[in-house]
A and B are shown apart, each in its own frame.
Chain A
Amino acid sequence: MSDKDEVNEETQRLNPLMVAARAKAEDAKAKAREAIPPELRETPRAPEVVEAKAKEIRPEPETAEEEKPAEPDAEASEADGSRSKSEREKDATEEKEADGRPAEREEERPLGERVVAWAKRNVDHLIGSGLGALYVGWLLATARTLGFSRDEGFYFSASSQYEKWFQLLFSTPGKALERAAIDPIWTANHEHPSLMKSLFALSHMFLWNKWKLVQDQSTAFRLPGMLMMGLAIWITYLFAARVYSRRAGIAAAIALGLMPRVFYHAHLACFDVPIMAMWIACVYAYWRAEKIGGLGPALLAGVVFGLTLETKHNAWMLPGVFVPHAILVHGRSMMSDAAKTARLPIPASLVAMATIGPAVFLLLWPWLWNDTLPRIQEYVNFHLHHEYYNIEFLGRTYFGPPSPKSYMPVMIAATVPTTTLLLFAIGAFDRLRVVGARAIGWLGETLGRAWPKPSGQDPLHTDALLLLALAVPLAVFLLPRTPIFGGTKHWITAYPALAIFAGRGFDLVADRIEALLKSRTSLDETKRRWALAIAGAITFVAPFAVTRHSHPFGLSAYVPFFGGTAGGADLGLNRQFWGFTTQSLNDWFSKNTKPGDTVYIMDTAWPSWHRMVDEKRIPQWLRGVGSPAEATISLVHHEQHMNEVDYNIWTEYGTTAPEFVLTHDGVPIISVYRRPQDGRRGPR
């Protein structure tokens, strides 16, 4: 039996019949460990070949994570060269400091020292959450200038309904749980699960209605989505830091945040950024469960998977990540066990996800509490047979299958800053090299050839896991029947993994720069560090500038190497959807309209329009109407398939000339027509 096999033998798995016995044993071990003072417990180390054998004597997962951040994967990562030199040196210094401290009871230390010690133990969480908080701050600061998208309008309405149910739940829980209370409320927008809309509702209920902590009702609705973006940044950092290095983690988090499309969607009370956050959270939870072992992390992975299912239906693709990965990690030992015992041992986290996941999904979605099976069927059918909306790509409006295979790669190249994509390419190539070397080694072993095997392999195949987390959401868009109307938001779940590889790429580039500085300059270490920091800042200055400038036209923006917004228009790429840009007419409305003016709101959803008026984002004297015939002022949100609205207004107003054209970088976003006062009729 090889070392690898031994590892796999020891890696936590769960045969359903052994759950209880195993859990009992784990509990007993945990209790025994709790009896040992923390400082006397064994310092957790990377789950390397030898250490994996000693898993039973490890602390509980959460404790392990807190005690030695960014360390568990150090050896595996060092073995394949994925940790930077500076990171290794830093870790060694920290380790020395920790080791050098005399054994002392935690509570006997002064408070300041304890805080410092806690901060040191949790430095990765502090960095990750700090970056996330900073980003949420940026989102909050810019939220007021971004109009409400069509879907947000629908979710505002649905969440307001759900809020009534929560009020009932908190006042008379018995009544709230009756079918008569559940069905009328939770029928609203039941094509999507309830988690985010429930959070929007609760946020509105407490932050706006009860505590008045936020400026606008919309901010209360939007905040959970923004916090989800903070979570995505946090976990992306954490993942990259633990797998590669802190420097890679920081670069990954920044790369994720500095994508114009991500920045746009992160503002919204919608589900796209939340599912992106939950996707990477779920992958991370699964990875931790695999790494640490034990029932707790497995159960946690199950719960997180349930929450992910409850966020958006993209979650149903996650088995496409986990199952192949589990086979890769455990396949050989599973086969061996199956041959010996006639039972197929399945990793605990997968069992938890398969059982707890759907349970959480059902539990948190009241609409499924009655007529459960038919309603699940309805939900599934809605998404399996979803209508194809129109979307322009390279000058052609697509409205049904087959979808162009080039859509996804071209749109990624056109919307993700090129610097980030190059970093990703460097990082992904590096990791693919490692994965490839392992595959060759495995093949050689299988064929009985003496092909070179890379040393010090990561038993968790983390690179492969991240590649799967990236590839699965993207691969779907290579299928001819996958609708493409959502643009980049429908594969946004791939972006955290993309960013993590970009972080790894940044690490490699930084190592190279560091080596060059060392060999070709006489700069001392401090100056070299500064030079490196400046190089890092310069690396992300373009993604920052592009992202910042894209606001509030994130869906119209294309990256500079594609010619920017005008380049996107030249190429015939979609300019916007959801009608949210109406709010950007506020200046024009304020100066050029008067009380009593009626506005044909075009693609803006009614709840979005009403909210904009209510929050004084546009003049309150305007009255929205549903057709140009009723309006003195008519809008056209420029999308190719909406040209008919433009031309219909010519028919209605008898003019081809808009009074005002809202532009972004010179490209028309909205045309504004005013009904001529000369009594003309028809387009001649």
Chain B
Amino acid sequence: MPLVSIVELALHAKQTNDIVPEADWAAARNIVKADLRPDDLVVFAPFWADPLGRRTFGDSIATPKRAGRSDERRFARAWEVSIRGAHDEALAGWKKVDERKAGAVTVTLWENPDHTKVIDDLVDLVTPERLSVSRVDDHGEQPCPFQRGRTAGGTTVVPQGLLTPADKFVCNGGHVGVAVLHALDHRPHLCIYATPIQGATLRLRFSDVTFGASLHGHSGIQWLVERKPTPEKVSVSFSAFGHTLGTHFHKVGVGWVGFELPTNDIEGKKGELTVDIAPSSQRQFCFEATTRHASSSATGGGR
């Protein structure tokens, strides 16, 4: 029994001394920074080390789009910054290009065999210059003005729900702005927080959108709602040049889920993209969509 205690003590001593120093994280950051491209992904593994990575790498590298990514396929390469031999399963099947050590941190560069390059990202277009929002009901279409205000939400009690963004389009019964969703997978997803309106359609018109071979998108509802599945669906229709491109139905309970609509017939064209969100009681709905160059064989799912 004293021997078991000695082994336990030795393990304890090792574990409490094997802490990754901040200097190693900083060295890893320098490796990544030296060769980072705009459409590179940066991931920290294991996921619990994500705050440590974001702390050291800063938000110029750990941007909201990388940290709160919709999917991995939009990135050509990925820098995996890992400790304790962890590996992000989302990079399974990617080709290892390089691996370097920064003390206790391993930096691995992966190449995406299934990259679909993003042309336009609707999240970037949520500005008064590129987006107009309106409420459509029996009385016609009422514009929802853009307002710069304060966020709403956040208490000392959890769960507290999706934070209503400070800058948003405000409708009678809803709003549209950019937020970060805590989805059913407990991961962050940067998305357009567009509250469906009961008794009215929420219409978003994005101008000057360049179309590719397909429209990729994802949607989700705040995790607390999704963890109790219901038959209810949120319907999101996309149309351009007078034609419906397709409709995505988000069923409550599926979590952060991807969809893909082919747009080969309008590939290379530039025009208005209209998104209609049908009436629903699901207030904490969030989605994102991108136009992409190459369509892939399967839809990009959530992680």
Residues of A within 8 A of B (CB): 390, 397, 399, 417-419, 422-423, 426, 505-506, 509, 535, 538-543, 545-546, 549, 559-561, 563-567, 569-570, 600-606, 626-629, 636, 638, 640-648, 650-652, 655-661, 663, 665-668, 671, 681-684
Residues of chain B having any CB pair with chain A under 8 Å: 1-2, 4-6, 8-9, 11-13, 15-16, 18-20, 46, 48-49, 51-52, 54-55, 57-59, 62-65, 67-68, 83-84, 86, 123-124, 148, 150-156, 158-163, 165-167, 177-182, 186-188, 190, 222-223, 227
Let me know if A605 and B5 touch, CB within 8 A.
no
Q: Smallest Cβ distance from B108 to chain A, in angstroms?
A: 18
Separation of A602 and B154 alpha carbons in the complex (Å): 9
Identify which of A505, A506, A560, A569 contacts B12 (C-beta below 8 A): A560
Bound CA span A107–B160, Å: 71
- Whether A644 contacts B52 by the Cβ 8 Å rule is no
- Interface SS, A side: helix
Partner of A538, one of B6, B158, B182: B6
User: In the bound complex, how far is the Cα of B159 from the Cα of A684, in angstroms?
Assistant: 24
- Interchain CB contact under 8 A, A651 and B179: yes
Decide: A561 and B162 in contact? CB cutoff 8 A.
Answer: no
Shortest CB-to-CB span from B158 to chain A, Å, is 5
Contact yes or no, B51 A668, CB < 8 A: yes
Q: How far is the CA of A668 from the CA of B64 in the complex (A)?
A: 20
Q: Return A97 CB to nearest CB of chain B, in Å.
A: 33
Which residues of chain B have C-beta atoms less than 8 A from A390's C-beta?
Answer: 158-159
Q: Which residues of B contact A684 (CB under 8 A)?
A: 64-65, 123-124, 178, 190
In the complex, are the beta carbons of B2 and A538 less than 8 A apart?
A: yes
Give the distance to chain B from A656, nearest Cβ to Cβ, in Å. Answer: 4
| Chain A residues within 8 Å of B153, by CB | 627, 629, 648
Would you call B154 and A628 a contact (CB within 8 A)?
A: yes
Can you list 25 pairs linking A and B with CB atoms under 8 Å apart?
A397-B186, A422-B4, A538-B2, A542-B4, A542-B12, A564-B15, A565-B15, A566-B84, A605-B156, A627-B154, A627-B155, A628-B154, A629-B154, A629-B166, A636-B51, A641-B159, A642-B158, A644-B182, A648-B153, A656-B54, A657-B55, A663-B19, A665-B16, A671-B55, A684-B190
* Contact status B156-A643, CB under 8 Å: no
- B9 and A542 contact, CB distance less than 8 A: yes
Residues of A within 8 A of B187 (CB): 643
Q: Does B163 contact A651, Cβ atoms closer than 8 Å? A: yes
Which residues does chain A contribute within 8 Å of B227, judged by CB atoms?
399
Cα–Cα, bound, A105→B153 (Å) = 78
CA distance A539 to B7 in the complex (A): 10
Q: A542-B5, A644-B223, A652-B163 are in contact. Are A668 and B156 (CB under 8 A)?
A: no
A560 adjacent to B11 (CB under 8 Å): yes
- Are A656 and B19 closer than 8 Å at their CB atoms? no
Once bound together, how far apart are the Cα atoms of A539 and B124, in whole Å?
61
Nearest residue (CB) in B for A636 is: B51
- Chain A residues whose C-beta falls within 8 Å of the C-beta of B165 in the assembled complex: 651, 682
* Residue from the set A422, A651, A661, A668 with the largest chain B CB neighbour count within 10 Å: A651
**What is the distance, in angstroms, from B2's C-beta to the closest C-beta of chain A?**
4
- Of all chain B residues, the one with the shortest Cβ separation from A628 is B154
